[in-house]
Amino acid sequence: MVMTNFLQERKSVREYKDQDLSAKDLERVQNIVDRGNTNCKAAGISFNFFQNGQVVCDRLQGKAGYSGVMIKAPHYVSMTIAGREAKDQLKTGYTLEQINTDLVDLGLGTCWITLDHVDPQVKQEAFGTDGKEIDYIIALGYPRKKKLFEPEKHSARMEVREFVFENDFDTPASPDTLDQLGLFDVFSSVRYAPSHKNAQPWRFVLEGSQVKLYMVTGKEDNRSLVDCGLMMFYFQEMMKTLGTQKEWVIEDGFSMEGNYLYLGSYSL
Ligand SMILES: Cc1cc2nc3c(=O)[nH]c(=O)nc-3n(C[C@H](O)[C@H](O)[C@H](O)COP(=O)(O)O)c2cc1C
């Protein structure tokens, strides 16, 4: 997968063909979920593939989805994580988006659905005994074909200068600095990452050879942490395309700087 193209072309799909995936595609999805379970077991994370999407959709109708309407998909993939600390929210974003990119790479349409506000009893009815711990699922299926003349839907994104800064939050990063560091394409692509309500709560500050990641705080910090975890995944993947295999170093205790929560740094 070429990550630059992937990010620029990706979008959430909320309307699916009224048909199940083929047997081959069901197997491919199951393999992705199984691989995710093997890789993430030590981190206390597990995924589940719900092939009968009807039951899930019926139980969550009016309680989750888009403006109160559940996103009707033939199938859903869920994620469960042992803890609810800030670091667990980052991990949720990072690992579920990893699975999501693999699903999109199969040619499937997908959309994150937030369930952190849904009554645990309802989640148990939708997903079974362990279901009450599920805060996020991914809807998946074959995307419904666009009708003739139906406009493309695109969610607006911030410009790079609105979320990448040099040394302090008053100085937007100049295109020259970004070019010199080889980061112009990286940020031009990661700006298309999805986020809850398209909030795009991530902010970057370039300091010498460090890229520091901050989060805008507000009323939905747990959800913003998930968004920032997902951004960490995309940033790291984009850096791999430049031949760099480094990883984010997450802070031990997160500290506030003004309205921003400092999450960690990436060494160039
Ligand atoms: C953590 C997370 C939670 C989301 N939750 C929902 C949701 O509950 N319902 C929904 O319709 N879309 C949800 N989305 C999708 C976002 O609304 C969407 O990514 C954003 O508006 C940008 O649009 P795009 O993905 O089409 O580029 C979620 C996305 C993320 C990353």
**pTM score of the predicted model:** 0.97
Greatest Cα pair distance in the chain: 55
Ligand 1, atom 10: closest residue by C-alpha: 66
**Mean pLDDT throughout 77-84?**
96
> Are 112 and 194 spatial neighbours (Cβ–Cβ below 8 Å)?
yes
Q: Which of 7, 2, 10, 14 is nearest to 138 (CA)?
A: 14
Give me the mean pLDDT over the 248-258 stretch.
93
Answer whether 61 contacts ligand 1 (Cβ < 6 A): no
The pair of three-digit structure tokens given for residue 88, joined into one six-digit string: 């667990």
What's residue 143's pLDDT?
97
Band of pLDDT at residue 120, cut at 50, 70 and 90: very high
Ligand 1 contact via 191 beta carbon (within 6 Å): no
Q: Strand 260-267 and strand 210-216: pairing?
A: antiparallel
pLDDT for 15-71, tens place per residue? 999 999 999 999 999 999 999 999 999 999 999 999 999 999 999 999 999 988 999
H or E segment and range at residue 222: helix 221-241
% of the chain with per-residue pLDDT over 70: 100
C-beta 230 within 6 A of ligand 1: yes
Question: β-strands 164-166, 202-207: how paired?
Answer: parallel
Say if CB 173 and CB 113 are below 8 A apart: no
pLDDT score of 68: 84
Choosing from 8, 111, 230, 233 the residue with most ligand 1 atoms within 8 A of its CB, the one to mutate for a pocket test is 111
Average pLDDT over residues 243-261: 94
Q: Is 113 in the pocket of ligand 1 (CB under 6 A)?
A: yes
Mean local confidence (pLDDT), 122-138? 96
Atom 2, ligand 1: residue with shortest CA distance: 196
Convert the pLDDT of each residue in 154-211 to its tens digit.
899 999 999 999 999 999 999 999 999 999 999 999 999 999 999 999 999 999 999 9
| pLDDT value at residue 186 | 96
Q: What is the DSSP letter of 254?
A: E
Q: What is the percentage of the chain residues whose pLDDT exceeds 90?
A: 91
Long-range Cβ contact pairs of 172-181 (< 8 A, separation 24 or more) = 173/204, 173/206, 177/206, 181/206, 181/268
Distance 167 CA to ligand 1 centre (A): 31
